[in-house]
Amino acid sequence: MHITSLPSPYGIGTFGEQAERFIDWLIQAGQEYWQVLPIGPTGYGDSPYQSFSTFAGNPLLIDLDELVRDGLLTQTICSEADYGADPTFVDYDKVARSKMALLKLAFSKFSEDEGYLAFTRKEAFWLDDYALFMALKEENNNFSWVDWADGVRLRSPEALREASEKHAKGIGFWKFVQYIFYKQWDRLKNYANNNGIKIIGDIPIYVAPDSSDIWANTGLFEMDSEMRPKRVAGVPPDYFSATGQLWGNPLYDWEAMKADGYAWWLKRIEKALTLYDVVRIDHFRAFDTFWAIPAGEPTAVNGKWEQGPGMDLWNTVKEKLGDAPIIAEDLGDIFDSVKELLKESGFPGMRVLQFGFNPESSDNDHLPHNYPENSVCYTGTHDNSTALGWYKSADSASRAMCRRYLRPQLFEKINRTMIRELYKSRTGLAVVPMQDIIGLDDRARMNIPSTLGGNWKWRAEKKHFSEKNAAFLRELAETYYRCGKKDNR
């Protein structure tokens, strides 16, 4: 469950009291992990997988009540802002408009302290570029950096110096926001860890085209002389789309990255390991081979497979950072070479129960009797239907296979049957979306791949974190000896 899906009076889940109450509920439910989506600042389409920075945090996740306690805001002004009327969905436009105005008000009352100065020194390797990038976006009406004036777009030293002087106040604001974000995240993560809950975070394999990462490191990406992508990322036609998925992210120049010892990737993973206890790497298969689509193509159909860095990158990571606790998202079109890379890396892959049931009733890797212990299993991910939504929309042959395989108990809803099957399996870690624990249909679906608008909005209500739901999970965890089970990683 992503942080945005938590209840709160401010239109979106935050690092505030309800996040701590959710951790308390996880303990009551006998759980040991909380998996979240990427926590970077969301851009195009509100997607956490299209962020303005790999290293920055999402300002919308900041807890306003803590700023009230710090004397930077008042409860009245926070309560009077418009965050949207529906507590079950995030109205991103209203939340962003109100919250950013409040953060600017808080900044006007903030005085730099030693914690802030220490933070800006420690994080300067990404923070300086990001803060200037965001200040320039504001000046340019939030247009993408590829449409800025040549001086700042091409990073002329003189233009950057002038821009830094001109936007000193704006740069200060964006650094303040990151300082508050990281201070609050550290508090929440410590609360989780001190109560026996580990947090699984998520790294999108690619970075957004409109991001400070690419603007500040264009030599590490496939860009032309005008700093526009030569080729972009996506996947070929698959389960989710007949024309493939055209993500549009610029591709990495892996030769350039190898030449400097994968320094950017090392910083990225090292940072993630300070934010999370376990890191899920999205679209892991692209480290073996990746789908490259010529820029300007209307769909992902006319791409081709190219060779990724393979174990050369991961051997470097292991040499520099040790045995990092990583989960490899190995879903999609998986070649034998991808399976070999996963095996050699030693990382656990993923299994999704919904994918196990098919009209042909054929045996496959996503059926629990085939799960290896070194894997992480899910009823579904943020890109899937909910369990109930899947069952309602599946064809009759797939539903029949599901019932025959799972053998639901009398009057038991299929979502609970599916959860029970995960807990029974041999896999080292079982992760269940909150929507499936509650028993919601596709109105609570988090994301439909290859679509824009209406995604990432679902929010839980306080009533969903009930003693009954907690007791259901705890009974399963105790029955199948998952409480206190030693992590296989």
Residues with catalytic roles: 282, 329, 383
- C-alpha distances (whole Å) from 237 to each of 296, 299, 303, 354, 449 are 18, 10, 10, 19, 12
The tokens describing 225, both together, are 């002389």
- C-alpha distances (whole Å) from 119 to each of 100, 104, 113, 263, 386 are 21, 19, 10, 21, 40
The tokens describing 404, both together, are 């025959």
Backbone angles phi and psi of 34, in degrees to 5: -130, 115
List of residues 6+ apart from 20 with CB closer than 8 A: 188, 191
Rounded to whole angstroms, the Cα distance separating 80 from 73 reads 12
Say which DSSP state 408 is in.
Answer: P
* Cβ-based neighbour number of residue 409 at 10 Å: 10
Please, are residues 145 and 215 in contact by the beta-carbon 8 Å criterion? yes
* Cβ-based neighbour number of residue 62 at 10 Å: 23
Backbone angles phi and psi of 428, in degrees to 5: -65, -25
Amino acid at 292: A
Rounded to whole angstroms, the Cα distance separating 258 from 252 reads 11
The tokens describing 462, both together, are 């306080």
What strand order describes the sheet that includes 33-35?
Answer: 33-35, 198-203, 278-281, 326-328
Strands 289-294 and 198-203: unpaired
Rounded to whole angstroms, the Cα distance separating 405 from 384 reads 20
Q: Which residue has the tokens 């110096």?
A: 161
Task: Classify each residue of 219-239 as buried b or exposed e, where b means 16 or more C-beta atoms within 10 Å of its C-beta.
Answer: ebbbbeeebebebbbbbbebe
The helix/strand count (H/E) of the chain reads as: 19, 11
